[in-house]
């Protein structure tokens, strides 16, 4: 953990020390996770050291070798097979703290170019008390297609397509929400209104958790998969609601039932009752026939 109150040398050496220890245990055949908080403080320490050495500065006075230094850190992660046959792995998760939330600053840009997965925290979502405050539209992963074979075998043959469809729906829902803020409900069509409610349904039911609830704070993969399948089926189908009020009532009731289901213990009477109510409400929805 790096803090701005630590000495410059300690901030600069801390990440390398942590990685070296992680590599030692990886060589023993263990799976190691190293969390670096924060790489921004480490980069600032490099900037101070570079300035004292009178090196030629780069963008925002960071050293010219900042990009290669950040890549060198993350490239030390990975899986190995030792000479004795032991298999170990080192995973590195680094947090970046850009000043003022500016994602265009050098440390953030160099990090984004080096990593294959990014979870972007949103001030707007944190302000709304959404937990976790990870913005699904800022975040991305380059492992999705890379793991397509594993996903098809263990999750679903069309798992990647389902994830991409949900992501596209969230993106479209965000565009509709921005338009609705300007024009009001009267300025958007019924079709767009339904898409917007479906996107909000995904966000509220699947992407948000309650950290203070023992059940909702952490869900096993099997339960997440079952919830994803059900939410995907509801959110991506075509609806034929008579008006916007009918669409609003339907998704509001569905959201409430799903939120209560997230709090219910799997296999409990409450969970069974809520699942039955969800199925009954879902069956009442006017669904458009597929052409």
Phi, psi (rounded to 5 degrees) for 93? -115, 115
Q: In this structure, is residue 41 part of a structural domain?
A: yes
pLDDT at 276: 96
Identify the three-state secondary structure at position 97: coil
pLDDT band at 291 (very low <50, low <70, confident <90, very high): very low
How confident is the model over 80-90, as a mean pLDDT? 92
273: number of Cβ within 10 Å = 14
Same domain, 197 and 93: no
Same domain, 184 and 94: no
- 107 close to 40: Cβ distance less than 8 angstroms: yes
Q: Residue 46 to residues 19, 72, 250, 253: CA-CA distances in angstroms?
A: 17, 14, 55, 53
Identify the three-state secondary structure at position 103: coil
How confident is the model over 135-146, as a mean pLDDT? 92
pLDDT band at 290 (very low <50, low <70, confident <90, very high): low
Say which CATH number the domain at 84 has.
3.40.50.300
Same domain, 87 and 186: no
Q: Mean pLDDT in the chain?
A: 92
- 78 close to 20: Cβ distance less than 8 angstroms: no
Same domain, 40 and 86: yes
Class of residue 187 by CB neighbours under 10 A (exposed 0-12, middle 13-18, buried 19+)? exposed
Residue-wise pLDDT for 29-49, tens only, equals: 999 999 998 899 899 999 999
pLDDT at 289: 64
Same domain, 156 and 61: no
Q: In this structure, is residue 3 part of a structural domain?
A: no
Q: In this structure, is residue 1 part of a structural domain?
A: no
Residue-wise pLDDT for 42-78, tens only, equals: 999 999 999 999 999 999 999 999 999 999 999 999 9
Same domain, 16 and 94: yes
pLDDT band at 7 (very low <50, low <70, confident <90, very high): confident
Same domain, 14 and 76: yes
Residue ending a domain, among 92, 115, 138, is 115
pLDDT band at 84 (very low <50, low <70, confident <90, very high): confident
Same domain, 279 and 158: yes
Same domain, 158 and 278: yes
Give the integer Cα–Cα distance in Å for 112 and 139. Answer: 11
Residue ending a domain, among 88, 115, 142, is 115
Range of the domain at 22: 8-115
Q: In this structure, is residue 158 part of a structural domain?
A: yes
Q: In this structure, is residue 290 part of a structural domain?
A: no
Q: In this structure, is residue 244 part of a structural domain?
A: yes
Partners of 70 in the beta sheet? Answer: none
What does the DSSP 8-state code read for residue 287? B
How confident is the model over 248-271, as a mean pLDDT? 95
Q: In this structure, is residue 135 part of a structural domain?
A: no
Q: In this structure, is residue 262 part of a structural domain?
A: yes
Residue ending a domain, among 56, 88, 115, is 115
Same domain, 178 and 109: no
The pLDDT > 90 percentage for the chain reads: 75
Which has the minimum average pLDDT: 199-203, 250-254, 264-268? 264-268
Same domain, 158 and 41: no
Same domain, 111 and 209: no
Residue-wise pLDDT for 167-225, tens only, equals: 999 999 999 999 999 999 899 999 999 999 999 999 999 999 998 999 999 889 999 99
Say which CATH number the domain at 256 has.
1.10.1140.10
Tally the domains of the chain. Answer: 2
What global pTM score does this model have?
0.85
């Amino acid at each position: 953990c790096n803090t701005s109150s630590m000495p410059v040398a300690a901030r600069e050496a801390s990440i390398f020390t942590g990685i070296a220890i992680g590599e030692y245990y990886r060589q023993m055949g263990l799976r190691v996770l190293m969390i670096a908080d924060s790489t921004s403080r480490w980069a600032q320490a490099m900037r101070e050291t570079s300035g004292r050495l009178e090196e030629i500065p780069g963008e925002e006075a960071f050293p010219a070798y900042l990009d290669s230094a950040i890549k060198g850190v993350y490239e030390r992660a990975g899986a190995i097979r030792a000479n004795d046959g032991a298999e170990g792995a080192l995973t590195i998760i680094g947090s970046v703290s850009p000043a003022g939330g500016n994602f265009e600053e050098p440390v953030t840009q160099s990090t984004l170019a080096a990593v294959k997965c990014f979870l972007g925290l949103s001030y707007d979502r944190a302000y709304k008390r959404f937990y976790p405050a990870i913005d699904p539209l800022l975040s991305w992963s380059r492992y999705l297609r890379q793991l397509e074979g594993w996903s098809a075998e263990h999750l679903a043959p069309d798992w990647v397509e389902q994830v991409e469809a949900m992501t596209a729906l969230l993106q479209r829902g965000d565009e509709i929400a921005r338009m609705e803020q300007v024009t009001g409900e009267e300025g958007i069509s019924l079709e767009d209104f339904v898409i917007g409610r479906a996107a909000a349904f995904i966000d509220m039911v699947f992407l948000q958790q309650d950290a203070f609830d023992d059940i909702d704070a952490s869900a096993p993969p099997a339960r997440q998969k079952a919830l994803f399948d059900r939410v995907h089926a509801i959110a991506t189908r075509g609806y034929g609601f008579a008006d916007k009020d009918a669409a609003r009532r339907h998704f509001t009731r569905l959201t409430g039932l799903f939120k209560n289901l997230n709090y219910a213990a799997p296999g409990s009477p409450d969970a069974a009752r809520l699942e039955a109510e969800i199925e009954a409400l879902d069956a009442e929805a006017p669904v458009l026939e597929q052409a």
